[in-house]
Amino acid sequence: MIYKHQRIVFWCLVGCILLMATLLFLERQRGRERILSIATQMPMDAVAASTEPVTLDLANDADGSISGQQRQMALPVDSNARARALLDQLVAEYALPGSAHPLPQGSAVAEVFLLPLPVVGYTVNPAAPPLEDGSPATSPVASATPGPGPVNPGGELAVIDLRSSFVNQHPAGVEVESLTLLSIVGTLHANLPQIEQVRFLVDGQPRETLAGHADLLRTYPSRDTATPPAAQH
């Protein structure tokens, strides 16, 4: 004998189960659509970037030489990103066991900025009408102590912002520090010929030396730094 109230409870429970099943199904569908919408914004496969030959100017502490060596790398299109990828690869080679110019592991370069030469600043121009977004108009201002202009049209200054974690662990010595800087300059020159000058910062600030010796305040001319072994007599 099944009482009436028991039947009512039973059918209420059945209704709740069906309602919950429907809700679960709808939520599942909604979540699936959300995941699919995110997935469509991401590349489904790795970018089939073709590698290209690059030249790394690799230093050798044993004889003080720098030699250009070919590697195959997939490089970004953007020049700033290319420069940084090249330098990351260069430092990664130096961190390998058995390197001829051993350097600490880890990321050395925080950022690379490429600036058109001659370098100019900008000042607010009150005479000009404001821009569309409401910000005041600016006009270029030459430096009070202008540096050398570009040798060729389109020449650029590369500002390399090194990480202090890399600089603080760099081996000290005139030769070992000079080789690191010249290796960087030579690698940029070999692969990004529009770079004519190179400057260095550490954590965004000027610093006198790399590890007590090599000059980091100087503007280095971009050039082929591949050299035979230092003149030893």
Partner 1 sequence: MLAATCLGQTPASPPAQTAPQPAPGPLNRSVIVLDAAHGGVDGGSRIGDSTLEKDVTLALAFRLRSLLAARGFTVVMTRENDAALRPGAPGTALTLDDRAGIANHARAAACLLLHATGTGQGVHLYSSELDAVPAEAAVLPWLTAQAAWVAQSAQLEAGLGAALKRAGVPLVSSRASVRPVDSMTCPAIVVELAPEDDDRAGINDTDYQQRVAEAIAGALVFWSRQVQPPPRLPSDRAAAAGAQP
If one asks whether residue 223 binds partner 1 (CB under 8 A), the answer comes out as no
If one asks whether residue 98 binds partner 1 (CB under 8 A), the answer comes out as no
Nearer to partner 1, 64 or 118 (CB): 64
Nearer to partner 1, 180 or 187 (CB): 180
If one asks whether residue 33 binds partner 1 (CB under 8 A), the answer comes out as no
Q: How far is the CB of 77 from partner 1 (least distance, A)?
A: 33
Q: How far is the CB of 97 from partner 1 (least distance, A)?
A: 18
Write out the DSSP string of 124-185.
E-TTSPPPTTSPPPEEEEE-SS-----SSTT-EEEEEEE-HHHHTTSPPSHHHHHHHHHHHH
Residues 6+ apart with CB under 8 A from 158: 83, 112, 113, 114, 115, 188, 192, 195, 197, 198, 199, 222
Q: Is 89 left (phi over 0), alpha (psi -120 to 50) or beta?
A: alpha
Please give the Cα distance from 175 to 170 (Å, whole number): 12
Nearer to partner 1, 47 or 231 (CB): 231
The two tokens of residue 177 are: 């520090």
Q: In the range 55-94, which residues lie near partner 1 by CB under 8 A?
A: 61, 64
Nearer to partner 1, 64 or 68 (CB): 64
The pattern of x and - marking residues 135 through 174 that bind partner 1 according to CB under 8 A reads ----------x-------------------------xxxx
Please give the Cα distance from 216 to 177 (Å, whole number): 10
Residues in contact with partner 1 by CB under 8 A are 61, 64, 145, 171-176, 178, 181, 208-209, 211-215, 217-218, 220, 230-233
